[in-house]
């Protein structure tokens, strides 16, 4: 195996960069005549936050590991939201730069995207994004597509199901969102007002979710969205791919390579 390591400053806005350590490992085949696999790893003081595996033999790549930590960057703490997206955009950009189009043209991933809300409850981002925007997290930000044709057909039917008329009572609705739910009386009053409005207008499930703000989606009903999606018989594929032909790389600069890369780059 040979390995190279470097520091990049990735552009998150016109005035702000986020700094990461990137490692690329290249692995020799058994006969040691050529490389047959590589891995691209990004992180900061916390190493190995995201890993992309590249297989030269079948010309595939996979986001094989992903975890968020505020110390996944250096110089400053990594924020959730735009910071997480920047980290993913950065490692996909580096992978594309080194292996596209000769070895890979797509990047596969298993969508297990999630966050933990203000109450420490796990919220699936693919459901919360889907009911809000009609696209999953990776669809919305990375233009990801369903890997399997059969699963794509089932997934496409979800839009029709979300556009069915909201025809249950509020009491029944609360049954689906009641498990481990955290809310105050004002939040529940807001939810009921929105629910009653959609029912009176003969609106759809999509209309209902589109009026819920982020606080309601993530900190109230988010941890129980699975229950609602099961009731609606929504189908969510696990395997997706990002088309590197159409992926728009993020801007970055290479700051340093070799040696003790963390020296002088403490988080402040």
Q: Is 226 exposed, middle or buried (0-12, 13-18, 19+ CB in 10 A)?
A: middle
List the chain domain ranges.
1-105+244-268, 111-136+150-237
Q: What is the pTM of this model?
A: 0.89
- Return per-residue pLDDT of the chain as tens, 268 residues: 899 999 999 999 888 999 999 999 999 988 778 889 999 999 999 999 999 999 999 999 999 999 899 999 998 999 988 999 999 999 999 999 999 999 999 999 999 888 888 888 888 899 999 998 899 999 999 999 999 999 999 999 999 999 999 999 998 888 877 655 556 678 888 999 999 999 999 999 999 999 999 888 888 888 888 888 888 999 999 899 999 999 999 999 998 776 556 555 554 4
Q: In Å, what is the CA distance from 49 to each residue of 25, 32, 107, 255? A: 15, 29, 17, 20
């Amino acid at each position: 195996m040979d390995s190279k390591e470097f520091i990049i400053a990735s552009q998150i806005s016109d005035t702000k960069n986020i700094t990461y350590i990137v490692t690329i490992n290249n692995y020799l085949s058994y006969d040691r005549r050529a490389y047959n696999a590589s891995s691209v790893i990004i992180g900061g003081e916390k190493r190995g936050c995201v890993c992309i595996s590249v297989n030269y033999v079948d010309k595939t790549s996979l986001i094989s590991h992903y975890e968020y930590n505020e110390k996944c960057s250096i110089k400053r703490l990594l924020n959730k939201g735009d910071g997480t997206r920047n980290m993913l955009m950065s490692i996909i950009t580096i992978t594309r730069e080194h292996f596209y189009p000769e070895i890979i043209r797509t990047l596969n991933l298993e969508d297990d995207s999630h966050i933990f809300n203000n109450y420490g409850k796990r919220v699936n981002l693919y459901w919360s994004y889907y009911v809000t925007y009609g696209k999953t997290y990776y669809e919305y930000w990375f233009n990801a597509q369903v890997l399997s044709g059969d699963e794509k057909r089932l997934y496409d039917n979800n839009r029709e199901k979300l556009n069915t008329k909201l025809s249950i009572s509020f009491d029944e609705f609360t049954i689906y969102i009641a498990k481990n739910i955290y809310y105050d009386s004002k939040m529940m009053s807001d939810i009921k007002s929105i629910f009653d409005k959609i029912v009176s207008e003969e609106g759809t499930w999509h209309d209902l979710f589109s009026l819920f703000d982020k606080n309601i989606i993530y900190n109230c009903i988010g941890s129980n969205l699975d229950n609602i999606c099961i009731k609606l018989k929504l189908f969510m594929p696990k395997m997706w791919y990002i088309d590197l032909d159409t992926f728009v790389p993020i801007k970055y600069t290479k700051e340093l390579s070799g040696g003790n890369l963390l020296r002088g780059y403490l988080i402040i």
